[in-house]
Amino acid sequence: MESQCAVCHFSYQREPGFFLGSIYFNYGLTSLVTAVLYPALHFGYGLPNGPVMAACVSFALLFPIWFFRYARALWLGFDQWIDPR
């Protein structure tokens, strides 16, 4: 990841551990999607528990890896919105 913006030299890494807050976005969205997906597929569409559980567990393991960079971007934008520099 770049340490600062190439155009305006805005520092992305404000302090050590700054991006720990992105975990809230990543975990929160993963939990929300899984918590909606499982009941919708199992109870709403009547799909069997085994495949739905396997799909949801797979999603819960793989989605955060893919969403990692977007969660950081969301965290950076959220921090800039709350505490503009």
Which residues of this protein are in contact with Zn ion, per CB under 5 A?
5, 7-8, 10
Nearer to Zn ion, 2 or 15 (CB): 2
Nearer to Zn ion, 6 or 65 (CB): 6
Least distance between Zn ion and beta carbon 9 (Å): 7
Question: For residue 54, what are the CA distances in angstroms to 15, 28, 31, 60, 81?
Answer: 39, 20, 15, 10, 38
Least distance between Zn ion and beta carbon 60 (Å): 34
Q: Which residue, judged by CB position, is nearest to Zn ion in the bound state?
A: 5
User: What sign for the dihedral angle of Cα 50, 51, 54, 57?
Assistant: negative
Q: How far apart are CA 72 and CA 24, in angstroms?
A: 10
